Amino acid sequence: MRKQSLFCAVLAVAMAVPFFSSCNKAADIINNLIELTSQITVVEPDMPGLTYPETYQVTLINESTGESKTATTELKNGKKVASVKIMGTATGLFSVSVRGVVFDEANNKLKDFWANAAHVVVVAGIVACDPTVSCTVYNTVKLKDNHFWMAENLRYLPVGITPSADLNNVTAGVFYPLGVADDGTTRQFLTSQEAIASQGYVYQVEVALGCKIGGLTSVEQAQALEGTQGVCPLGWHLPTLSEIKGLVGKVAQETTETTAPYFNGSDGSVKLLNEDGFNMSACGQITIQDVTSTSGLISYVIYEGRVASGFFCGSTYKTVSYLVDGDASSGIKALTFQGLMTMTNKATEAAYTCNGSGLKHRMGAPVRCIKDSASE
């Protein structure tokens, strides 16, 4: 991982940039707020031999209202410049997130450049911040479904989020990876940098989809998130039901796509996926049943002293339950999205399975991103 310094300056001017976020309700735009358009200037250090992104994605978050605005930079006079319309008072706290990618298709490497700055004070519409840019490099692979996939689990931390190892923190958003203690039977969090590098973080589905905890409140919002970028790098997204079926064929409560390249006649095959470089293993999951839950559960199968089951986040809405059964007006209790489920609790890799399955939106699971078709 390389770390560089990055300078960004936010300057209020009277311009407007359109923005839409499926996780921001229209009701969140409150009267009597001053509209500011902020210009972000990304100045990259001169590092010979390092290729930088052609564009950056810049997000500003009003920490008082939770509303976020995003824009993509353009190259101008040797600097990366973006204008982002934000809603908020001229003085307050904002978070700044900057992200860009370089995809080296020839070598199957994805370089994810990102920088976060939380609790940035805005005074009279002006703020300067100097966060540190991290460059996380992921292995990628083009599989027989003709899509590029990340061959590693995501290790990105959204702005303002600190990973948690507390199962009572049901709104943490991101948790540390999961494993088995030396006794071979106890489930536990793994907080070392080595574990994070090899297994990635565990994301609550709501956060993986790009929302804050509590931001998903309707079926319409959930449906609009299919194929969303979420926490993935720019130009990549959380897999859809169609993409999952096109990869492994079998999805619970769906018609099996028997022609999928990694369907072995009965299940999606981990062995076939890994022979082509997917590097898939079971990484566990955190079960948080719904919005009324006050604690989570590390719930995965242990087989021969190792994690032997787990989920991966996806983006296609599946089902809903309400706080009062059948009464939509009572509020959302749980939204279920289609993802992947891996089972490796068998004696041989040939019997390991990877099929589509549903995850409730407060559950926690790793993320594997897929490259946008339009950019392949």
Q: What DSSP string describes 311-350? A: EEEEEEEEEEEEEETTEEEEEEEEEEEEEEEEE--SSSGG
**pLDDT of 57:** 83
- Using DSSP's 3-state secondary structure scheme, residue 240 falls into coil
Size of the chain in residues: 376
**Centroid of chain to Cα 114:** 13
Domain boundaries in the chain?
Answer: 2-139, 143-375
- At 267, the pLDDT band (50, 70, 90 cuts) reads very high
Please say whether the beta carbons of 116 and 131 come within 8 A.
yes
d(Cα 209, Cα 201) in Å, to the nearest integer? Answer: 14
**pLDDT of 66:** 75
- At 79, the pLDDT band (50, 70, 90 cuts) reads low
**pLDDT of 119:** 80
**pLDDT of 21:** 41
The CA-atom distances, in angstroms, between 200 and each of 13, 179, 261, 312 are 39, 12, 26, 11
How do residues 299-326 score in pLDDT, each as one tens digit? Answer: 899 999 999 999 999 999 999 999 999 9
Pair of tokens at residue 87: 């809603």
d(Cα 223, Cα 238) in Å, to the nearest integer? Answer: 14
**pLDDT of 1:** 41
- Using DSSP's 3-state secondary structure scheme, residue 21 falls into coil
**pLDDT of 61:** 80
Please say whether the beta carbons of 359 and 313 come within 8 A.
yes
Please say whether the beta carbons of 340 and 324 come within 8 A.
no
Q: What is the pTM of this model?
A: 0.86
**Centroid of chain to Cα 287:** 18
- Look at 51-65, 163-177, 197-211, 289-303 and tell me which has the smallest mean pLDDT: 51-65
